[in-house]
Amino acid sequence: MLETKAIATRDSYGNALVEIAKEHDNLIVLDADLAAATKTAIFKKAFPKRHIDCGIAEANMAGIAAGLSTCGYVPFMSSFAMFAAGRAYEQVRNTIGYPHLNVKIGATHAGISVGEDGATHQCNEDLALMRTIPGMVVINPCDDVEARAAVKAAYEYVGPVYLRFGRLAVPVINDEETYQFEIGKGITLREGKDVTIIATGLCVSESLKAAELLAQQGIDAMVINIHTIKPIDAELVVAGARATGRVFTVEEHSIIGGLGSAVMEVLSEYLPTKVTRIGVNDTYGESGPAKELLKKYKLDAEGIAERIKADL
């Protein structure tokens, strides 16, 4: 695989907001004193009057976003996943989700790849939390191309959307010229006969690399990118499971409640298949450089390949 460049999806978020806002006056961005980190500062520079800093008050930000949305604005409320999905969970559930308001939640710094800030800021539970809210769309893009397309799709979709972005620069694996994003439609990136890897977020590029490592050992892995955790592409999950009869899910999230759980729910119901969940094993993260943490938690290509080979 040719790696031309690496971009953090939080940068994609900031850049996409600027692009969309050029054409749509009703797009408005809210932040909670993290504009430099969530990259909405890029938007603030381009559209200062449409960037609302709410201060360090995420619960209030969620409510303000809800109120703005009832008046015709399309607010993107931005913070770290820990605070957007965690701190403000009940506000998102009751004040945005219940009335099905047209609010987009841009959650950056998800997962252990937050790195040095450590466990308090590494949210491995957001997909689980957001997935249980009725009517909430949950998207976890894998690279810059997909992330920018996801922001655009979220803007165009009418209703609440949770967008998960990362802090760590990740390889750009999609070709902007040919890439097509559709909410709820997974993408088969690699065909294979022996095992099906279903991955999301930054684990997609790592899983593609893992598939190459497995190939060297005679294991032919299919790789599916599930960027939309909800609604999940049940058809593709079932087809992927049928193709090899053995499924591994890979996510930078707790093995409880995220992609792994969503895939198992689908397969238990439609095509019982053995599934192994690779993710954060019901534990907290810790401080350290992001890449070293991914290695330690076996979420890099080598760790994923090792786990698959051992469990197959």
Partner 1 sequence: MNKLELQKKAVAVRKGAMTGVYCAKSGHPGGSLSAADIFTYLYFEEMNVDPSNPKDENRDRFVLSKGHTAPGYYAALALKGFFSIEELKNLRHVGAFLQGHPDMKHTPGVDMSSGSLGQGLSTAVGMALAAKLSNKDYRTYCLCGDGEIQEGQIWEAAMFAGHRKLDNLLVIVDNNNLQIDGTLEEVCSPYPIDEKFKAFGFHVININGNDFDEIDKAFAEAKATKGMPTAIIAHTVKGKGVSFMENNVNWHGKAPNEEEYKIAMEELEKEAAALC
CB nearer to partner 1: give 10 or 50.
50
**Catalytic residue from among 58, 146, 206, 252:** 58
Residue 17 CB, shortest distance to partner 1, in Å, is: 16
Q: b/e for 57-66, b at 16 or more Cβ within 10 A? A: ebbebbbbbb
Helix, strand, or coil here: 54? coil
Place of tokens 């198992």: 264
Straight-line distance from the first to the last Cα atom of the chain, in angstroms, rounded to the nearest whole number: 24
CB nearer to partner 1: give 66 or 198.
66
List contacts with partner 1 (CB under 8 A).
28, 49-50, 52, 54-55, 57, 59-73, 75, 90-91, 94-95, 98-100
φ, ψ of residue 288 in degrees (nearest 5): 155, 160
Residue 91 CB, shortest distance to partner 1, in Å, is: 6
Q: Are 250 and 198 in contact (CB under 8 A)?
A: yes
Strand order of the sheet with strand 246-254? Answer: 187-190, 221-225, 195-199, 246-254, 274-280
Residue 10 CB, shortest distance to partner 1, in Å, is: 24
Whether 58 is catalytic = yes
Residue 60 CB, shortest distance to partner 1, in Å, is: 4
Establish whether the linkage from the previous residue to 231 is cis, with ω within 30° of 0: yes
CB nearer to partner 1: give 26 or 188.
26
E strands, the chain, are: 6-8, 27-31, 51-53, 74-80, 104-108, 137-139, 161-164, 169-171, 187-190, 195-199, 221-225, 228-230, 246-254, 274-280
Cα–Cα distance measured from residue 104 to residue 162, given in angstroms and rounded to the nearest whole number: 6
**What are 300's two structure tokens?**
């890099």
**What are 75's two structure tokens?**
């607010």
Residue 279 CB, shortest distance to partner 1, in Å, is: 31
Q: Which residues are catalytic?
A: 58
